[in-house]
Amino acid sequence: MNTWVTENQTSGLRISFRIREILASEVSEFQRIDIYRTESHGRLMMLDDVVMLTEKDEFLYHEMIAHVPMCVHPDPKRVLVIGGGDGGTIREIARHPEVDEITIVEIDGRVVELSREYLPFVGCGFDDARVQLHVDDGIRFIQDHKDAFDVIFIDSTDPVAFAEGLFHTDFYTNVRDALRENGIMVAQTEFPLLLPDTVREIHTALKQVFPVSRMYTGYVSTYPTGLWSYAFASKGPDPLKDFKPERADRMRGTLKYYSADIHRAAFALPPFIQELV
């Protein structure tokens, strides 16, 4: 099979993969879901023709969104993931023995089902006994759970269509209210090099809601520009002052990107990003 699939990352930037096999292709209630076997990156999931993950580099994203807050919170017992239906983020959260309960709210149940069938390297996250899956709207779910979670992850798609509401001040206020004392929220916040206005708006909104709000960055090779940003926002814990390197050290040898040194370095922002936040 000599076929290419392409994501139009911006109006002037594309990324393409040569595919060897179409594993799944359907339109769910919410979006188009395609899973391919590629020549260079193993298995690939695209939602509405946008790259969500590849087998080759998904660890870059999932390790950075998961372990930064989990290595800062003093005692993360109850964790919530909004989105993340592929299972990669909960796979990483499950590495932390302090956690008693992992709740994941994914609006599109077909993403979960297809990930478990065709993407077992991330879908295995649902096999952990602590995981409770809710196929529901995360915006509505979080409004009904006050003072309920220690760490909340916003592992969403881009801020368009049904995911747009996950990037606004009202939603962040509900997230804050759903957090317990010392609670932490982490969210993916897009690519600062080509979407500076979007990144600025997100972090401005977070500063209005949380007493602690910081950006950190990481490398994700198949995401636009490769430079990805994340928000760390909390009711008190600081991502550097309260960092617990012993938690990162105990995972040494099992992770491929995140480490204690990477944690510290991720918060060292280049000047052009400092100007945004």
Examine the residue annotation and report whether 249 is marked as an active-site residue of this protein.
Answer: no
**In this structure, what token pair is assigned to residue 17?**
């993969």
The DSSP letter of residue 59 is: H
Catalytic site residue from 57, 155, 177, 261: 155
Q: Tell me the Cα Rg of the chain.
A: 18
Which positions are annotated as active-site residues?
A: 155
